[in-house]
């Protein structure tokens, strides 16, 4: 991979740097950018125009690289020696941000979730991330609660932390065929009689896609019309083999690979609910996109999910597999509940997850990096 990156829903085509690259990526069919897969964005050049123009439209040249393309900061140094970049931005403080240290290029970082929720528990990583924060011109968290967690670990970063929730825009593929999707998943019942729950995630342990498999399989044996389909790329090859083996033995559970973003959005519109069973989340774009598409959400009760899903208002939150099954059954049998959750979810996303607001925030922050390059 060179100028575009793997993403979790395109690998997965999911999240975004809606601050200006989103339109470019839609045009190129690359999906969107701000994903769970750490990345580095390098920018150079261009005259400035008023806020509201996209970065590319404002004359910037932007190059996006998956952080896994670089084995060490020395590889980034080689790139910077060959290209006259003026600023950089990284997703994930440890896996992305540490690669930008010491090069003299002004940069900012965006917290992904696992860097705050998981990596801070390892002293060596925590020390590295603290040094990244010292050098970064700014850092972005998705929620106020995440900002609080960051400042608890690194109080010195008080003046450079910005809170910007993810902006959401969904574009379902109008040509998507739900029946073909079901056939791919080896589900051969009539679509009118089915209740399909989609669990969208990259296959890695922190997403815990096997958490609900046994309970759901038991439910399927009671009610053969219910299925759970896990959709996502094989991020962790070893764990992916474990998932495949387990799903093959589980009745009513299916596993599909990555899908183009538009197809996945269309599949979400046809399913009964979006499921999130992660052990840790920064802010799940899948949940927000489901809300935007008018799809009910069933989410595991973790801080990142609880920040966007309010029980029986914008979605349903479960503490264990048994509660998931109870809530899923209720959702299937209570159309008024579904209608209320869908309406509230759409209002919530529209109010708090504006694509335009997110874009303007990142344009402002990129401007800070540009000014830093001139100092």
Q: Residue 31: what pLDDT?
A: 31
Q: Residue 9: what pLDDT?
A: 24
Q: Residue 240: what pLDDT?
A: 97
Query: How is residue 225 written in tokens?
Result: 């019309």
Topology classification of domain 22-167+354-374: Rossmann fold (3.40.50)
Query: How is residue 5 written in tokens?
Result: 């990156």
Check if 22-167+354-374 and 178-352 are the same fold. Answer: yes
CB 329 within 8 A of CB 310: no
Say how many C-beta atoms besides its own lie within 10 A of residue 3's C-beta: 11
Measured between alpha carbons, how far is 17 from 28 in angstroms, rounded to an integer? 15
- Measure the CA dihedral 70/242/260/229, to 10°: -150
Q: Residue 55: what pLDDT?
A: 52
Q: Residue 37: what pLDDT?
A: 55
CB 287 within 8 A of CB 199: no
CB 15 within 8 A of CB 35: yes
User: Residue 62, SS3?
Assistant: strand
Residues (pLDDT < 50) of the chain are: 1-36, 46-54, 57-58
Read off the pTM. Answer: 0.78
Owner of token pair 């690998």 = 11
Enumerate the domain spans of the chain: 22-167+354-374, 178-352
What H or E segment, with its residue span, contains residue 213? helix 213-222
Question: Each residue of 166-182: pLDDT tens digit?
Answer: 889 899 999 999 999 99
Q: Residue 127: what pLDDT?
A: 92
Measured between alpha carbons, how far is 174 from 246 in angstroms, rounded to an integer? 33
Owner of token pair 């998931």 = 324
The share of the chain scoring above pLDDT 90, in percent, equals 56
Q: Is 136 exposed, middle or buried (0-12, 13-18, 19+ CB in 10 A)?
A: buried
Q: Residue 54: what pLDDT?
A: 40
CB 310 within 8 A of CB 287: no
Inter-CA distances, 82 with 75, 76, 78, 79, Å: 11, 10, 6, 5
Measured between alpha carbons, how far is 251 from 224 in angstroms, rounded to an integer? 9
Measured between alpha carbons, how far is 187 from 361 in angstroms, rounded to an integer? 44
CB 236 within 8 A of CB 205: yes
Q: What sign for the dihedral angle of Cα 358, 363, 368, 373?
A: positive
Residues in the chain: 375
Q: Which of 25, 49, 45 is nearest to 363 (CA)?
A: 49
Owner of token pair 């959400």 = 297
Inter-CA distances, 201 with 29, 46, 353, 372, Å: 20, 37, 21, 37
Measured between alpha carbons, how far is 16 from 169 in angstroms, rounded to an integer? 10
Q: Which residues contact 286 (CB under 8 A, 6 or more apart)?
A: 9, 14, 200, 201, 274, 276
Helices 335-352 & 285-293, crossing angle to 10 degrees?
110
Q: If one looks up domain 178-352 in CATH, what number appears?
A: 3.40.50.2000
Q: Which of 218, 204, 251, 255 is nearest to 38 (CA)?
A: 204
């Amino acid at each position: 991979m060179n100028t575009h990156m793997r993403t979790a829903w395109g690998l997965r085509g999911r999240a975004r740097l809606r601050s200006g690259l989103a339109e470019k990526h839609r045009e190129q069919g690359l999906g969107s950018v701000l994903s769970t897969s750490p990345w580095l964005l390098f920018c150079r050049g261009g005259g400035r125009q008023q806020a509201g123009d996209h970065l590319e439209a404002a004359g910037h040249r932007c190059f996006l690289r998956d952080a896994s393309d670089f084995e060490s900061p020395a590889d980034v140094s080689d790139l910077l020696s060959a290209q006259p970049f003026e600023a950089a931005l990284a997703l994930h403080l440890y896996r992305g941000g540490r690669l930008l240290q010491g090069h003299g290029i002004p940069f900012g970082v965006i917290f992904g979730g696992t860097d705050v929720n998981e990596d801070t528990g390892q002293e060596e990583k925590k020390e590295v991330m603290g040094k990244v924060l010292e050098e970064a011109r700014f850092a972005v968290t998705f929620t106020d609660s995440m900002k609080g967690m960051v400042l608890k670990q690194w109080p010195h970063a008080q003046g450079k932390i910005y809170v910007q929730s993810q902006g959401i825009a969904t574009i379902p593929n109008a040509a998507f065929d739900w029946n073909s999707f079901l056939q791919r998943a080896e589900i051969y019942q009539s679509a009118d009689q089915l209740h399909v729950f989609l669990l969208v995630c990259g296959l890695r342990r922190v997403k815990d896609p096997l958490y609900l498999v046994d309970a759901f399989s038991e439910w399927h044996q009671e009610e053969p019309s219910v299925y759970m389909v896990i959709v996502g790329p094989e991020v962790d090859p070893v764990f992916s083999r474990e998932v495949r083996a387990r799903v093959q033995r589980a009745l009513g559970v299916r596993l599909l690979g990555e899908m183009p973003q538009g197809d996945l959005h269309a599949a979400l519109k046809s399913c009964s609910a979006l499921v999130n069973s992660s052990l840790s989340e920064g802010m799940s774009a899948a949940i927000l996109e489901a809300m935007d598409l008018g799809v009910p959400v069933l989410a595991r009760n973790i801080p990142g999910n609880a920040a966007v899903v309010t029980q029986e208002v914008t979605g349903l939150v479960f503490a264990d597999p048994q509660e998931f099954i109870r809530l899923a059954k209720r959702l299937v049998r209570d159309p008024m509940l579904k209608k209320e959750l869908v309406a509230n979810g759409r209002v919530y996303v529209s109010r708090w997850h504006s694509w335009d607001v997110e874009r303007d925030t990142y344009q402002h922050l990129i401007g800070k990096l540009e000014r830093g390059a001139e100092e």
